[in-house]
Amino acid sequence: MSKDSKPLFSQHEHALEKEYEVCPQCGSELQIKNSKAGAFLGCVNYPTCSYSRPLVEQEKFEQQLLPGTECPECGNELAVKQGRFGMFIGCTNFPECHHIEHEHSEVVADVKCPQCSKGHLAEKHNRYGKTFYACDGYPKCKFAVNHEPVAGNCQKCGYGLLLKRNMAAGEKLQCADKKCSHFQS
């Protein structure tokens, strides 16, 4: 190193400074911990010291009004909002009005629900984007399957629903009753 060149890091600015950060409340070391809400920095002196902070700061999302829209329940404007399961469209008059716009699910080939015999099975998506098929009579009927339903009866047990399964040998139909699970020939 020459006389004129400066060191890459001064004594107080070390590359691993964040790695060995100290707790502002008690002076102990902070360490990365995990919870159901995600990773966070917490004091190693827990439970004596309960200091914690998120590892990554979440951006605040301001609700955005949708001009020209009207809530069908109370008449106020609708807005795009951020919830714990992601973005959704809801009434600006919350908490007085609880209206939320739901995506319309597609009924699958007019397949009746085998559990309640009143509803039809509709294609839906969970919060991770995975497709499943559930009774449109929810919450009264909670019937759901993970594979595409097909109208028909099982050859072995007579259950009123079959599932389309993609197997190594090609597409097969399987009984939707978990007790039977018979593959049709």
Helices (H) and strands (E) in the chain, counts: 0, 14
Strand intervals (E) in the chain: 30-35, 38-43, 52-54, 64-65, 78-83, 86-91, 100-101, 106-112, 120-125, 131-135, 144-145, 148-151, 161-167, 170-175
Mean pLDDT confidence for 84-113: 76
Among the residue ranges 27-41, 93-107, 126-140, the one predicted with the least confidence is 93-107
pTM: 0.46
Q: How many CB atoms lie within 10 A of CB 155?
A: 14
Residue ranges per domain, the chain? 20-55, 64-101, 106-175
Mean pLDDT confidence for 99-124: 78
Q: What is the dihedral of CA 63, 64, 65, 71, to 10 degrees?
A: -50
What integer pLDDT is reported at residue 12 of this predicted model? 47
Contact 141, 118 (CB under 8 A): yes
Indicate if the pLDDT at residue 182 is higher than 60: yes
- For 14-48, the pLDDT digits (tens) are 444 455 678 888 888 888 888 877 778 889 888 89
8 vs 167, higher pLDDT: 167
Mean pLDDT confidence for 106-131: 80
Among the residue ranges 52-56, 119-123, 137-141, 169-173, the one predicted with the least confidence is 52-56
CA 130 to CA 82: how far, in whole Å?
Answer: 21
131 - beta bridge partners?
A: 125
What integer pLDDT is reported at residue 15 of this predicted model? 43
What integer pLDDT is reported at residue 16 of this predicted model? 47
Indicate if the pLDDT at residue 154 is higher than 50: yes
